[in-house]
Structure 1
Amino acid sequence: MTTVGGGVKGLVARAQREAQRRAQSPSTAYLLLVMLQAAGPMGKLLSELGVRESDLLSALRVVDLEPTSALERAVERAYRLAKATGAVEVLPAHLLLAVVRDSRSAAHRSLELIGAGSRSVQEAVQSALQPEDPHTAPTSTYIRPAASLGVRHEAKPSRPSARRAMGPAQLIELRVEKPKDEPMIEAPIEAPIEVPEDELIVPSSSPFALDAGKYPMLAKLGRNLTEMASLGHIDEVIGRDDEIERLLDVLARRRSNNPILVGPPGVGKTAIVEGLARRLAQGGQGVRGLEGTILVELSAGALVSGTGVRGALSERMRQLQFEVKRANGKIVLFLDEVHTLFIGGDAPDDLAHELKASLARGELPCIGATTDVEYRKYVERDAALARRFSPIHIEEPAPEDAIEILRGIAPRYEVHHGIAYEPAAVESAVELSVRYMSEQTLPDKAIGLLDLAGARTRRRGGSVVDRKAVAQVVAEKVRVPVERLLVSDSQKLLQLEQHLAEHVVGHVDVMTRVSDALRKGAAGFHGQRPLATFLFLGPTGVGKTETARALNELFFMGCPMTRVDMSELSESHAVAKLVGAPPGYIGHETGGMLTEAIRHRPYQLVLLDEIEKAHMDVLQSLLPLLEDGRLTDGKGRTVDCTQTIVVMTSNLGAEHSQRGSGSIGFGGASGGSDEGFSAAMEAARRALPPELWNRIDEPLFFGPLSRDEVREIAGRMVAGVVRQLRERQGVELSVDASAIDTLLTLGGYDAELGARPMRRAIGRMVEAPLAAAILGGDFHRGDRILAVGDADGVRFEPLEGSVEAAE
C-alpha cells in the first residue's frame, strides 16, 4: 500500500502554521523553511548545500505568492514521484524533489534567489534516494525504484482523473491497494515521470532565451523581445531608423543611459522598441557595446497587479532588480506606460524613490514609454526622476512618411487577409485618416483602416482592396456618404464657382476671388498658413454667412463648422476662453473653445463672426493662426491649423453701402471706385490691427442685393417649402410668379437688410397659412394646390386631380 508518510503530513501542517503566523499565504518556500527548522535529513541536506534560514526568510519577502493550492499540488507531485519509483511511502525527500523541480514554485525561485541553485539540490536529493551501487550511474532525470532499496513495490496505477479531483485532505489520506499476487519489481522503471501539460517547458532555440530558473520574475511577467525578434516573430519597422539610432546612442552612454520615449498614443513607440530588438538580435557594427543585450518588455500593469497587500509591490520591485542585476547589464527592460508605476500600488512615492535610486546606481537599465501628458504630469515635475531618464520625443510621421510605412507593412496584411492592396488604397488610408480621424495619430489610424478594409473585403469574398473599400470604412466612421469621400479636392476646386453659385445668389466677382484663393492654398502657395483666410465685409443679409456654409458643405461634407461669436470676447481676459486658461487658473483642464475644436478636427472651416467686436488682445492672439498655421493652447500643446479655412465677417462700413455709383452685388480689391466698398475697407483698416489686416488673404465686400437677386433667393426659399410639404405631408404645392411678386412687395425686400426680410415674409404669408389649413383638414395627403399672390397677400387654390393621379 502506497501512502503519504507522516513526515510529509507534518511538514505540510507546519508550513501552513508558519505561513499563517507570518500573515502570508502558504507556499512551497515555507516547506523549505520548516525542513531547515526540523533539522531532519532533508534539513541537514539543505544546510550542507549552504541554505540558511535567514536567507530563506529574506527570499520569502521577495518571491511572488503562489496559488492557495500550492501545497496540495506539491504533495500530489511528490506522490507521483514516489509511485513512479515504486516507493510504498511518500517521504520528505520526494516532497523536496517535487518542489525544487518545478521552476514556477516559490521554493525553486527562493533557492535561485539566494544562490543555492535548485539543480544542486535536485542532484543531492536524488543521490540520497538512490542506493550505493557502483554499477548504477546516477541520473538527473529519474529516481530508481524503492525496490532497489529493499522496499517492496506495492502500487498499482490509479486513475489520473481521480487524482486530479481529490482535495488536499483526501490526497494525504490516499491509499492504493495492490493485488495480492502482484510480483516484486526488481528492475528500474524506465518510463518518464508523468508531467501535466501546463508544467511542460519547451526549450527555445534562440540564443537570447532567458533561463526561467535564474530569472523567474522576468520569465513570468516579461516578454522577451530580442528572442522573439531572433525567431522572426516581430515585424520589420519601417521609417523609424533615426529614432532607433537615438535609442542605441542613449543605451550606450555611461551615465543617464535610460531613454524614455514620449509621444501621443498610436505614434509607434512600441514599434520603435521592437525595431530596436530586431537590431539587437541581428547584431553587427551598429550595436557594438550592446552585443548580446536582451530586451524584455515588462507591462507596468502586470507588475502592479496583485500587489494590494502592503509592501508587495516593493518586494516585487526588489526581486526584479535582483534578476536584472544578476544579468550584469545584459538585460534591458522596456516599461510601457511607465507612468503607471508612480500612480499604482500601495505606496507610489516609495516605489518612485526605489526606482530613482536603482536608476541612479545603474542597477535597473530600462527604456520607458509614455504620452506627453503623462510625462509632464508624473516624470517631468519630479526633477530627480527626470534626471534619470533621457527623453526621446516621438513625433507623428508626416503623411508622406506614413505612406511609406504603410507600403512596407501592407504585404504582411495581404498575407494575413489573403487579399491584395492597390497603391491607391494605401494612399487613401493616410489621406482620409488625416482628414477625418484627427483625434488619432499616424501611422496607427491609417494601419487600422487598411486592416479593417482588408478584413471586410475578405469576409465579403473580394480579393482586392481599392480606394473605394477604404472610403467605405471611413464613411461609416464619420457618417458621411461614401460618394463625397471619393471626390478629390482637385475636382472640388475646379468646380468651386459652380458650387458656390448653387448656394449664393449674386456676388460673382467675390465668388471668383474666393475660388482663386482656395486654389492657391491647395496648390501649396500659402506655405504653412491656413488654406485660406477671408474677411467678408458688407451689410447684413447679403450672403456672407451663406458663403461660409457653402464652402463648409463642399470641402467638409457638411460637418459642423466652428463658429465663434467674437462679440462675446470683448474683454482682455477672453483670450483664455479662446485658447484655454494658463496653468493654475480656473478652467485650465477644459482647454480653449477654438484650440480644442481645431485639435480634434483640424480639417474644417472656422467662422469668426463680428470680428471687429473682439478685444485687441483677442485679435493679437489670432496672429499665429493666420501667419504660421498654428495655435498654442493653455496646456502648451501646439494645434495644427494648416488644413483650416478661416472666415471673418464684419458689418463695418455697412452704413455707407447705399451710397455711390450704384454698382451693387459684388466688389473686391479692384473695386476701389465703389463708395460702399471703399468705405467698408477703410472702416476695417481702422478697426483691425495692422498685423491682422496684413495676414488676410482676401478682404472681400458683399454689396447690397438687388430686387432681382432677392427675387431669385425667394424662389429658392419657396422651393424648400415645396419640398418639405411634399416629403412630410404628401401635398404638392405649385407657386405662381404673382406669389413671388407679392412677397417682394409686402415686406420681403429691403435694400438695407438683404434677404432676411424675405425669410420672415415667407414664414408669415406662406408657411403659417399652410400649417393652419393642413391642421384644419382643408388639405389632405395627395392634394394639389396653387399659391397665387394679390394685393392682400398669398392665397392657396386647390387644383383638380391628386398627386397620384398626376403621376
Structure 2
Amino acid sequence: MGALLASYKFRGEFEGRLKAVLKEVTASNGQIILFIDELHTVVGAGTTGGAMDVGNLLKPMLVRGELRCIGATTLIEYRKYVEKDPALKRRFQQVYCGQPSVEDSLSILRGLRERYELHHGVKISDSALVSAVALADRYVTERFLPDKAIDLVDEAAANLKMEIISKPTGLDELDWTILKLEMEKLSLKSNTDNASKERLCKLEGDLTSLKQKQQELTGRWEHEKRLMSRIWSIKEECDRVNLEMEAAEREYDLNRAAELKYVTMMSLHLQLKEAEKNVADYPKFGSTLLQKEVTDIDIAEIVSKRTGIPLSNLQKSENEKLVLLENILHKRVVGQDMVVKSVADAIRRSRAGLSDPNRPIASFMFMGPTGVGKTELAKALSGYLFNTENALLRIYMSEYMEKHAVSRLVGAPPGYVGYEEGGQLTEVIRRRPHSVVLFDEIEKAHPDVFNILLQLLDDGRITDSQGRMVSFTNTIVIMTSTIGSQYILETLQSSLGSKESFYGLMKKQVVDLARQTFRPEFMNRIDEYIVFQPLGMEQVSQIVQIQMNRVKKRLKQKKIELYYTEEALSFLATMGFDPNFGARPIKRVIQQMVGNEVALGVLKGDFKEDDSIVVDVDRVRDSTAQNR
C-alpha cells in the first residue's frame, strides 16, 4: 500500500495504479491470490481530495467473486478501523490466528532451518531449535511464538557467522602479543646497555617462535574457512537449481526439469557429500579453531544477554553453586540459617524446572524485628540470581497508605495526569521482567493494594492502566513486615533453652498474628512465611567484620591500608549490640569511632598514600585509630 500511495499528486492517479494491480489479479483467472498485509490501512487510504478509498474499490470485485483476497490485521486494529465499515467487514470471513503451541513452533522452526542455514552459512543443530522454543516460551514474555524463537535462532546463527569471519580469539590474542613485543623491540634497539641487549636477544627468540605459531594458526584458520565456504557455496547452488527446477515444472519444460533433477542435482549432491567428508575428517589432523554449528549453549547465551539471567543450562559449575547457595547468601546475611535455607530451596526448585511456570518464581513474607537482614537478603538474592543489585525493585508501602495512591502501581486511569507514563510497578517489570520485587513494610499499605497483589501472586500477571498484560512469572516477590517483632524479642529473652527449640513455636505465633492482620485470601497465596530471629552477640561480631572490610575496601581505593585487631572487633560489637535494633547501630558505631577519626586524619594529612592504619582498643580512650 505504501508503494501505491507514494508520490501520487493528482486525483485519480492512485486509483489508476490500484486498478492496474486489480486488473492483473482478475486476469489470472484465480491463479493469483491478493494478500493485503495490515488490512486496516486500506480503510481511508487514498481519500485525499474526495477520492474513493481502497475499500470501496475492492467491495464490488469481492461481491462478484472476481477477486481472491486475504487480509491480515490485529484484533485491536480490526475493531478500530475495519468494523467501522460494515460493508467491507461482511466481504471477509474472519479467521482467528492464535499463538502456535510449543510443539507447533518447533515444527515451524524445523521447516525454516534450511533457509536460515543458507542465509547465514552455518549449520543449526536440532537441540538449538528445541532450546530456542523452550527458552523463548519461558523467559521472553513480551513477544509471541514462533517469532521470538525464530529471532533467537537468527541472532545465534549471525553471531556464529561473525565468529567464523573474524579471527579466532586465540589468534587475535597472539597477534596483539606479537605487536606489543615488536614495539618493545623497537624501543630496546636504541639502548646500548647489557641488560637491554640481553632482553633484545630474548625478545627476538620469542618473536620467532610466536610468528611460527601465528603462521600455523592462520593457515589452519584459512583452511577451515575454505572447507566450510565450499559446503555453503554448493548448498546455495542446490537452492538455485531447485528454484529453477520448480519453474521448469510449472512451465511444463519437462526436459529441462529432468536434466536439472537427474544430472545437475546429482552432481551437486556428490560434491556436497565430498565437502562434508573433508570437514568431518579435518579434526583427525588436529583441533579445530572454528565452531561449525549453532548449539543449545549458543541459544542460552543469547537469552542470558537479553534477560540478565545466568542461563548456563544447569552445567556442572552452576549445579555446584546451587548446592552451595546457602554459603553464597551467608556471605551477605549473617545468621538466620532457617531463613536462608527456605529461600535457597525455592531457588533450587525454580532452577531445576519444578516451580509453577504460571506463577512468580517464589513469594515470601519476611517477618521479624528491624535490622536483622530482611532487606539485605533480598539484595543478596538479586545479586546472585541476576548478577546485579539493580534488578531489585524496592517499593516502600508507606507511600501507598492512601486510596488514591494505589493507582500509581499500575498507572493512572484514562483522563488523569500521568496516564501515558504507566505504573511504577508494571512499567519497571515490563522493561526488566526478571527482577526481585520487594514490598517494604507491607502492613502499612492501603487495603486496595492487596487486591492487586492477589492477582500477581496467583496468576503471575497484572493488567496495567493501558490494558497491557505484564508478566511476573520470572520475578521473586518478597514482602517485609515487622508484625510480631516485639513478641519475637520477648519470647527469645524469656526462653531458657536454645533459640532453635523455640523457633517453631515462635514462627507459629507470629504467623497467627499476621493472619489476624491480613485477609485470608492474601495469606493463602504466599508460598512461605519466614520469621527472622534477633541477632546474637556472635552474629553481631561477624557483621562488624563485614562492615570493617567495606571501610577497608573504600580506603584501599585511596591507596591506604586498614588493619584491625580482634580486640577492636569485640569492642565495636559490644558497643553496637542492641537486640531491639539489630545491625543498624553497628554502622553508626563504626562511623563514629572509626570513620570520623580516619576522615579527620585524611583531611589533616596525617594519613597519606601508602600509609597503614591500625584500629585497636585504647585502654585509656576506649578506641583510637593511629598511624603505623
CA contact (8 A) 1:304 1:341 kept: no
1:583 CA displacement: 4.8
Match of 1:635 in 2: 466
Query: Aligned partners of 1:325 and 1:767: how far apart in 2?
Result: 86
The reply on whether 1:570 has 2:272 as its aligned counterpart is no
CA contact (8 A) 1:563 1:609 kept: yes
CA contact (8 A) 1:665 1:703 kept: no
Which consecutive unaligned segments of at least 5 residues does structure 1 have?
A: 1-299, 800-807
Match of 2:152 in 1: 446
Q: 1:659 to 1:457 in 2, by over 3 A?
A: same
Partner SS for 1:758:
helix
Cα shift readout 1:52-76 (whole Å, capped 9, x = no counterpart): xxxxxxxxxxxxxxxxxxxxxxxxx
Cα shift readout 1:656-706 (whole Å, capped 9, x = no counterpart): 2210144699889x94422xx455323321221111101111011112111
The reply on whether 1:798 has 2:627 as its aligned counterpart is yes
The reply on whether 1:367 has 2:198 as its aligned counterpart is no
Question: How many residue pairs are counted as aligned between the two chains?
Answer: 495
The reply on whether 1:607 has 2:438 as its aligned counterpart is yes
Match of 2:178 in 1: none
CA contact (8 A) 1:336 1:370 kept: yes
Match of 1:560 in 2: 391
Match of 1:287 in 2: none
1:518 CA displacement: 3.4
Q: 1:479 to 1:622 in 2, by over 3 A?
A: closer
CA contact (8 A) 1:492 1:555 kept: no
Query: Aligned partners of 1:588 and 1:562: how far apart in 2?
Result: 21
Query: Aligned partners of 2:584 and 2:88: how far apart in 1?
Result: 63
1:596 CA displacement: 2.9
CA contact (8 A) 2:36 2:69 kept: yes
Query: Aligned partners of 1:498 and 1:506: how far apart in 2?
Result: 11
Structure with higher Rg: it is 1
Q: 1:618 to 1:509 in 2, by over 3 A?
A: same
Match of 2:512 in 1: 682
Of 584, 602, 609, 1:774 maps to 602
Query: Aligned partners of 1:579 and 1:336: how far apart in 2?
Result: 34
Query: Aligned partners of 1:714 and 1:349: how far apart in 2?
Result: 81
Query: Aligned partners of 1:385 and 1:562: how far apart in 2?
Result: 48
1:753 CA displacement: 1.5
1:650 CA displacement: 1.2
Cα shift readout 1:358-379 (whole Å, capped 9, x = no counterpart): 5863665433334555445444
Greater mean alpha carbon deviation, residues 526-535 or residues 573-582: 573-582
1:543 CA displacement: 1.0
The reply on whether 1:596 has 2:596 as its aligned counterpart is no
Match of 1:723 in 2: 553
Query: Aligned partners of 1:343 and 1:732: how far apart in 2?
Result: 75
Cα shift readout 1:371-429 (whole Å, capped 9, x = no counterpart): 55544544466666555555555555556655554455444444444443455544555
Query: Aligned partners of 1:318 and 1:550: how far apart in 2?
Result: 66
1:447 CA displacement: 2.4
Match of 1:699 in 2: 529
1:313 CA displacement: 3.7
The reply on whether 1:646 has 2:473 as its aligned counterpart is no
Structure 2 length-normalised TM: 0.68
CA contact (8 A) 2:310 2:385 kept: no
Q: 1:481 to 1:599 in 2, by over 3 A?
A: closer
Partner SS for 1:754:
coil
Cα shift readout 1:32-56 (whole Å, capped 9, x = no counterpart): xxxxxxxxxxxxxxxxxxxxxxxxx
Q: 1:378 to 1:541 in 2, by over 3 A?
A: farther
Of 332, 356, 376, 1:546 maps to 376
Amino acid at match of 1:597: V
Match of 2:285 in 1: none
Amino acid at match of 1:306: S
RMSD: 3.8
Partner SS for 1:622:
helix
Query: Aligned partners of 2:93 and 2:313: how far apart in 1?
Result: 46
Amino acid at match of 2:429: I
Match of 1:760 in 2: 588
Amino acid at match of 2:505: S
Q: 1:797 to 1:394 in 2, by over 3 A?
A: farther
Match of 1:497 in 2: 326
Of 443, 452, 455, 2:161 maps to 455
Cα shift readout 1:323-375 (whole Å, capped 9, x = no counterpart): 43444544322222334445765649952652674586366543333455544
CA contact (8 A) 1:468 1:486 kept: no
Q: 1:691 to 1:784 in 2, by over 3 A?
A: same
Match of 2:340 in 1: 511
1:560 CA displacement: 1.8
Match of 2:241 in 1: none
Amino acid at match of 1:463: Q
Cα shift readout 1:154-197 (whole Å, capped 9, x = no counterpart): xxxxxxxxxxxxxxxxxxxxxxxxxxxxxxxxxxxxxxxxxxxx
Query: Aligned partners of 2:46 and 2:140: how far apart in 1?
Result: 35
CA contact (8 A) 1:744 1:758 kept: yes
Amino acid at match of 1:787: V
1:534 CA displacement: 0.7
Match of 1:127 in 2: none
1:235-250 matches, within 5 Å, as: none
Q: 1:777 to 1:565 in 2, by over 3 A?
A: same
Query: Aligned partners of 2:137 and 2:347: how far apart in 1?
Result: 19
Of 611, 614, 624, 1:786 maps to 614
Structure 1 length-normalised TM: 0.54
Q: 1:611 to 1:424 in 2, by over 3 A?
A: same
1:140-151 matches, within 5 Å, as: none
CA contact (8 A) 1:510 1:702 kept: yes
Of 345, 354, 362, 2:56 maps to 354
Match of 1:536 in 2: 366
1:542 CA displacement: 0.9
Instruction: Give the helix-richer structure, 1 or 2.
Output: 2
Higher relative contact order (CA 8 A, sep 6+): 2
CA contact (8 A) 1:418 1:458 kept: no
Query: Aligned partners of 2:498 and 2:396: how far apart in 1?
Result: 26
Identity %: 40
Of 420, 424, 430, 2:123 maps to 420
